[in-house]
Amino acid sequence: MTDATHKIQEISRRILENGKVDKIIGYQKGSMPMMNTPCVIRNPANVGQLVWDSHCRLNLAKYLGNTKERVGIIAKGCDSRNIVMHILENRIQREQMVIIGVPCNGMADKWKLSALVDGEVVAVTEANGNITVTSVSDEKAIPRAQALQENCVLCKHRNPVIYDELTAELVEEPQNMDRHESIRKIESMTPDERWRFFDDMLSSCTRCHACRNACPLCYCPTCFVDESRPQWVGKGMDPVDIRSYHFLRAFHCAGRCTDCGACEAACPMHIPVRLLTRKLEKDCFDRFKWSAGLSLDQRPAMDTYTPNDPNDFFK
């Protein structure tokens, strides 16, 4: 059991027993290697099911919904920033939550790990800073730092920005992190090159919308792809519709996305959809000096207007 697991179980038991929360949202061990399943615990006797390891790749803020209950929620850095956004967007009240903050050293990339070995992965273990991947015929180990998801490699906010409890000491935040090198590379392409790049990137999309459903930002009662009067986006496999969905979703995440990586972790076809969302993140930072979810005291860039905003079109 990791230290974080132990701490999470202890804190959860305590806040359930003393009635501070009605439920805990966390992870339980999955049935497949490298996977955990988000779960809800109401009975303090069951906190033993909670786990925390390098495979907590989804964003639990998604599972808050717009609950009216009091909830204990486990949040790493990026998740906590989404919780801030949820409060700012009136999805949930601060008082409803006991936020169990986890200073995070990154989550493992299951694709990277699977590619290390021949054949189907049957077990993945972690010890002493190394992750070992085992298949029926093969076994490889790599240092944890080489196994991380890309968004974790580029992460600038590992510590939760808002919390009531902490599972460990805060970790060091990286300085001088260039998050946008891959974005600049695409920006420097010609329009034709960019068109072909995105066409190829989206060619395996099956319109399952796992990216949208895993995203804590995507909570519209009716998503724009489901509107029928008028119908903005077709429901078939026309590449126009596939592009429309992905591009517009990225725009809807502008100024709100914390690059938690849940979208890429969820995609069954391993499409690097963050290449779209990070472009919007870069634009928000370049133009408005805005990064999402860092403070409860600032309105988000995309929902405020001040007279000295740089654009001319509305003056």
What is the distance between the alpha carbons of residues 278 and 297, in angstroms, rounded to a whole number? Answer: 24
Q: Tokens at residue 78, please?
A: 């990026």
Window 269 to 308, contacts with another protein (CB under 8 A): 269-270
- When asked if residue 32 is in the footprint of another protein (CB under 8 A), the reply is yes
Q: Which stretch binds another protein (CB under 8 A): 32-40, 167-175, 246-254, 301-309?
A: 32-40
- When asked if residue 68 is in the footprint of another protein (CB under 8 A), the reply is no
- Residue 3 vs 120, nearer CB to another protein: 120
Tracing tokens 């634009």 back to the chain, one arrives at: 283
- Residue 152 vs 267, nearer CB to another protein: 267
**SS3 assignment, position 141:** strand
Q: Which of 19, 191, 236, 310 binds another protein (CB under 8 A)?
A: 236
Q: Which of 61, 104, 214, 292 binds another protein (CB under 8 A)?
A: 214
Q: Tokens at residue 63, please?
A: 């599972």
User: Do the Cβ atoms of 39 and 47 come closer than 8 Å?
Assistant: no
User: Do the Cβ atoms of 295 and 161 come closer than 8 Å?
Assistant: yes
The H or E element spanning position 81 is helix 77-88
Degrees (nearest 5) of the Cα angle 244, 245, 251?
A: 85
- Residue 45 vs 145, nearer CB to another protein: 45
For the bound state, the minimum distance from the C-beta of residue 208 to another protein, rounded and expressed in Å, comes to 4
**SS3 assignment, position 133:** strand
Binding site residues, another protein, CB under 8 A:
30-32, 35-43, 46, 49, 58, 62-63, 111, 120, 122, 136, 204, 206-210, 212-214, 222, 226, 228-229, 231, 234-238, 262, 265-270
